[in-house]
């Protein structure tokens, strides 16, 4: 079964996770830590079956690739990573901002893009890059891995 494409906000979150160094190989597994550092998600990828597994909420409950999987794909070189753009999202506390805007992701994107512009980012360039990542994800045609574990609490 193929993964559904993520909401664009998940790409922004993944870029922030990579830029902040929150993707780590520990104890023979890939761990992606959340922006507050209080928990982590496990990601695994099977090249032979082109399948990916992650135990984040979006992946487990919604059936689309969550930011931990996307962050892993950046670090594995399967998606084109741009450090210059990712650095705009490095310090974002995603949990806090998502709760503040009650998970209205379009509003969250507007806020982080506004902040990126204040740091010198070009909105059109960032949005175009996010769109290109969505296209790359679609072309990867990633499958859901057979194993499933509940997300951490």
In a domain, 145, yes or no: no
| Lowest-confidence segment of 33-37, 82-86, 112-116 by average pLDDT | 33-37
pLDDT for the residue numbered 148? 75
> Within a domain: residue 124?
yes
Please give the full DSSP string across 70-107, using - where no structure is assigned. HHHHHHTTSS---HHHHGGGTT--HHHHHHHTTT-HHH
Query: Up-side HSE of residue 144: CA atoms within 13 Å toward CB?
Result: 19
Residue 150 in domain: no
Query: Residue written as tokens 């890059």?
Result: 129
Please report whether residue 87 resides in a domain: yes
What is the chain's mean pLDDT, rounded?
95
- Lowest mean pLDDT segment, chosen from 27-31, 80-84, 107-111: 27-31
Read off the pLDDT band of 27 (50, 70, 90).
Answer: confident
Please report whether residue 2 resides in a domain: no
- In tens, the pLDDT along 53-93 reads 999 999 999 999 999 999 999 999 999 999 999 999 999 99
Residue 107 lies in a domain: yes
Range of the domain at 111: 8-139
146 part of a folded domain: no
- The count of domains in the chain is 1
Which of 104, 110, 145, 149 shows the shortest CA–CA distance to 127?
110
């Amino acid at each position: 079964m193929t993964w559904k494409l993520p909401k664009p906000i998940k790409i922004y979150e993944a870029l922030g996770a990579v830029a902040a160094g929150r993707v780590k190989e520990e104890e023979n597994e890939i761990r992606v830590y959340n922006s507050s550092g209080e928990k982590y998600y496990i990601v695994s990828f099977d090249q032979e079956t082109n399948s990916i597994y992650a135990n984040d909420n979006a992946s487990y409950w919604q059936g689309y690739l969550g930011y931990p999987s996307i962050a892993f794909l950046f670090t594995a070189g399967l998606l084109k990573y741009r450090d210059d753009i990712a650095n705009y999202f490095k310090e974002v506390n995603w949990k806090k901002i998502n709760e503040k805007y009650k998970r209205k992701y379009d509003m969250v994107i507007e806020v982080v893009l506004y902040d990126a512009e204040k740091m010198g980012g070009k909105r059109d360039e960032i949005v175009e890059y996010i769109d290109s990542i969505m296209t790359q994800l679609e072309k990867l045609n990633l499958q859901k891995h057979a194993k499933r574990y509940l997300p951490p609490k």
